[in-house]
Amino acid sequence: MFGRTLPIAGREAEKTVDPSLDLEAEIGRLKKERRAVVLAHYYQDGEIQDVADFIGDSLQLAQAAKKTDAEVICFAGVHFMAETAKILNPDKTVVVPDLSAGCSLADGCPEAKFVAWKARYPGAVVVSYINCSAAVKAESDYIVTSSNAEKIVAQIPAGKTVLFAPDKNLGAYLAKKLGREMVLWQGSCIVHETFSERKLIALKERHPKAKILAHPECEDAILRMADYVGSTTGILNYAAKSDAKEHIVVTEPGILHQMQKAAPDKTFIAAPPEANCACNECPHMKKNSLEKLYLALRDLEPRLEMQPDLMVKARTPIDRMLALS
């Protein structure tokens, strides 16, 4: 029997999956056997979302990771999300389908540069978007996600200088919304910066009644056109409740899977990128597959391992966020 060959990050050996396997059934069996829970982000492929025990935005996934009594967490998302789950569960086994699934925001904010940047503003309050490495989290006062950033930043005393990293678009959106100046790290998401204002205007002309729903990682020109700006869960909830029949969705199109399930009578249109490419799909999120998820549960690897002292340091600003959410 010829299986699909999957190179596993950091290992010489290649694993094969028997194509005749009923992967959904096998994953169900392994979940019970391993006492494992599968957490998935909305940007995962539909087939991964369908085997997950919990699907959510970054905040909900962190909350679910904190609550679970499973022995194994299999995290179908990207590296910083699995790291957060491990920090909240240092004694549990955290496995991921693909250890190399990163994030352009996290990658664009290396620890040494972040520490040097922070040192230029003594006494400032450091707020970091959850899309960053554990090392950056450990150097931050607060962690925020797109669903609680406004609430958390609003609680910082007015006289304090606020540093916000690593997403300049979310930072600029918050600064505008709260009428508060912040010092912004100049990072961005490779997916959300690809959306085109020109193509969005053309799409809206063709669908004048459609509501535009955008993630705050998008650039200001896009956000100014949006009827709703929020996290993936916020976008999903808005679409389910809105009276509109058509919605233009300006975020990674993986979210359409749950939108269509929540509101099958409505039409959801994925906003196009500027180039003729599929670059509105997150290449990191899409590294995961059902086969790799099955292998992660079967072999309990690749495993997320972290330095205990780093987990302790990074946990404080995450706990502050969870307490304020």
DSSP collapsed to 3 states, 91-151: CCEEECCCCCCCCHHHHCCCHHHHHHHHHCCCCCEEEEECCCCHHHHHCCCEEECCCCHHH
Q: 73: which DSSP letter?
A: E
Instruction: Determine how β-strand 125-129 pairs with β-strand 142-144.
Output: parallel
> Is the CB of residue 240 less than 8 Å from the CB of residue 232?
no
Residue of 58, 93, 128, 148 that binds ligand 13P (CB under 6 A):
58
Between 175 and 282, whose beta carbon lies closer to ligand SF4? Answer: 282
Strands 162-165 and 183-184: parallel
Among 93, 133, 146, 289, binds ligand 13P (CB under 6 A): 146
Which residue, chain included where needed, has tokens 């409505």? 266
Least distance CB 117 / ligand SF4 (angstroms): 20
58: partner contacted, choices ligand 13P, ligand SF4, none (Cβ within 5-8 A by kind): ligand 13P
Distance CA 42, CA 52 (A): 11
- The entry of ligand SF4, ligand 13P, none near residue 83 (CB within 5 to 8 angstroms by kind) is none
Neighbours of 308 (CB within 10 A): 8
CA angle centred on 319, ends 131 and 322, rounded to 5°? 75
Residue 83, sorted as left (phi over 0), alpha (psi -120 to 50) or beta, turns out to be: alpha
- From ligand 13P, ligand SF4, none, which one binds at residue 219 (CB under 5 to 8 Å depending on kind)? none
Question: Residue 146 binds which entry of ligand SF4, ligand 13P, none, with Cβ cut-offs from 5 to 8 Å by kind?
Answer: ligand 13P
Binding residues among 76-105 for ligand 13P as defined by CB under 6 A: none
Cβ neighbours of residue 20 closer than 8 Å, sequence gap 6 or more? 1
The CB-of-280 to ligand SF4 minimum distance in angstroms stands at: 9
Choose between 255 and 297: whose C-beta lies nearer to ligand 13P: 255
Question: Which residues of the chain form contacts with ligand SF4 (CB under 6 A)?
Answer: 78, 103-105, 131, 189-191, 217, 252, 282, 284-285
| Binding partner at 194 among ligand 13P, ligand SF4, none, C-beta below 5 to 8 Å by kind | none
Restricted to residues 228-247, the positions that interact with ligand 13P (CB under 6 A) are 231-232
Give the nearest distance from C-beta 130 to ligand 13P in angstroms.
7
Distance of CA 281 to the CA centre of its chain: 13
- Strands (E) in 153-298, as ranges, are 162-165, 183-184, 211-214, 228-229, 246-250, 267-270
CA 294-298-299 angle, 5° bins: 120
190 binds, among ligand 13P, ligand SF4, none (CB under 5 to 8 A by kind): ligand SF4
Closest to ligand 13P by CB, 17 vs 81, is 81
Q: 245 in helix, strand or coil?
A: coil
Cβ proximity to ligand SF4, 34 vs 286, nearer residue = 286
CB 204 within 8 A of CB 228: no
CB of 270 to ligand 13P, least distance (A): 14
Rank residues 30 and 61 by Cβ distance to ligand 13P and give the closer one: 61
| Interacting partner of 169 out of ligand SF4, ligand 13P, none (Cβ under 5 to 8 A depending on kind) | none
Taking CB within 5 to 8 Å according to partner kind, which of ligand SF4, ligand 13P, none is near residue 79?
none
- By CB under 6 A, name the binding residues for ligand 13P: 57-58, 131, 145-146, 189, 215, 217, 231-232
